[in-house]
Amino acid sequence: MEAAQDSRRTADLRNYVLVTGAYWADTITDGAIRLLVLFYFYERGYSPIAVATLFLFYEFFGIVTNLVGGWLAARLGLRFTLLGGLATQLLALAMLLVAPESLLVVPYVMVAQAFSGIAKDLTKMSSKSAIKLVVPEDASGQLYRWVSLLTGSKNALKGVGFFLGGLLLTTTGFHAALGVLMGLVATALVVVLVLMRGDLGRPDRKAKFRGMFSNNRSVNALAAARIFLFASRDVWFVVGVPVYLRTEQGWSFWQVGTFLAAWVIGYGIVQAAAPRHIRDPDGHTATWLAFLLAVFPAAIAIALAAGTDGTLAVVVGLLVFGLVFALNSAVHSYLILAYADGDKVAMNVGFYYMANAGGRLAGTVLSGVLYQWIGLQACLWASAVFVLAAGALSRSLPAGRAAAGWRRAPRRRRSMAG
């Protein structure tokens, strides 16, 4: 019996490596697409609000995808959602590549971005859920380390994607860049199809859609805090800072792409190293990190109002913001798996990342609106308010490892839905 369990866990671990590799490939592509679309359309006269509009479906369908995707993973397996994500990313890239004249039609580009958002969230949900299936139930420290490593590496590679997007746009142009990205995603899709065995977890064909809506108080509180945490980042990150550096500070595409890449890569490295600096995180940890984080966007806004050099204030301030944000996000990523019911992990993770996508959607819209109507300082003040809201909601999270929801479960084969 023990030998059979070890064999199954080895197979799950092998599949998890494949899932993670595919997720990394899609993450690089996602970051590159974001920068390509941002600057390609801004340089063609789109206003900041219009550019933000291009990403609305991307974020909105992230909400839908995490909600429905968790249910589909529970019923059909994580392999199904992973392959679906990679195939959808190819479709999104093809839409932007094969019809150049259609790029003048905003709704067409919004639909292509919607497919890209669906792809990204399907692969992310698959990879994050897979960790719970391969880490023993009583190994909370290992879970924290693995989640931090996966989340950190993902964000570092998204930074590589920003750099790649800026580099390709500068050296090869928009359409050639899309061709390169299609090759990367197609390779990941073929590797998964050929090498993955089984479904990664035990699908439950009887899983009910209503099970997606968590009745776990800790999951719900963490999801609510996540909305405001990620709105606090994207309210300046999506449109405000890139356009500010390009138009008001005179940076080139390559310089903006490199800065965003460095920020996200550094953010990912800090996330991966979070277990070395913050041990046994709980709800109290998420609370004090959020309140600390609120200081930095407010400080940048005050510095800009006082006439401080814009490049210095934004670059230094956001580097420090990224350090604390990365630690806060790493703690959140651990807590959702700690709180998740072992037999409903895909559903709980899907629900949580639905909230994450909701925060990104709000931040994306406000990033364009606030920057165009008022300026970067308004984006930064909104960020500070959102972080304070995340901290206030985090106060209801349980303190202590036992309260954090990590429970010893009977040794049994876990499915992905109850």
The answer to whether residues 364 and 52 touch, using CB atoms and an 8 Å cutoff, is yes
The CA distance from 399 to 150, in Å, is 24
SS3 at position 238: coil
What residues contact residue 276 under an 8 Å CB cut-off, 6+ apart? none
The CA distance from 295 to 381, in Å, is 10
Domains of the chain: 2-394 (1.20.1250.20)
| pLDDT tens series, the chain, 418 aa | 555 555 666 666 777 788 888 888 998 998 898 888 888 887 777 777 777 787 788 878 878 887 777 777 777 777 888 889 999 999 999 998 876 666 777 788 888 888 988 898 888 877 777 776 666 666 667 777 777 777 778 778 888 888 888 888 888 888 899 999 999 999 999 998 888 876 566 666 666 656 556 667 888 899 999 999 999 999 988 888 988 998 888 888 778 878 888 888 888 888 888 888 888 899 999 999 999 999 999 999 999 999 999 899 999 999 999 999 999 998 998 898 888 765 566 677 777 878 888 898 899 889 989 998 899 999 999 999 999 999 999 999 987 644 444 443 333 444 444 3
Q: What is the largest distance, in Å, between two alpha-carbon atoms of the chain?
A: 70
User: Helix, strand, coil proportions of the chain in percent (round to 5)?
Assistant: 80, 0, 20
SS3 at position 8: helix
The CA distance from 340 to 148, in Å, is 16
Which residue stretches of 213-344 are H helix? Answer: 217-237, 240-243, 253-272, 274-277, 283-293, 295-305, 310-339
> Is the whole model's pTM more than 0.75, yes or no?
no
The answer to whether residues 161 and 31 touch, using CB atoms and an 8 Å cutoff, is yes
Residue with tokens 């990394």: 24
Q: Which two tokens stand for residue 352?
A: 């949580």
Closest C-alpha among 353, 335, 337, 364 to residue 67: 353
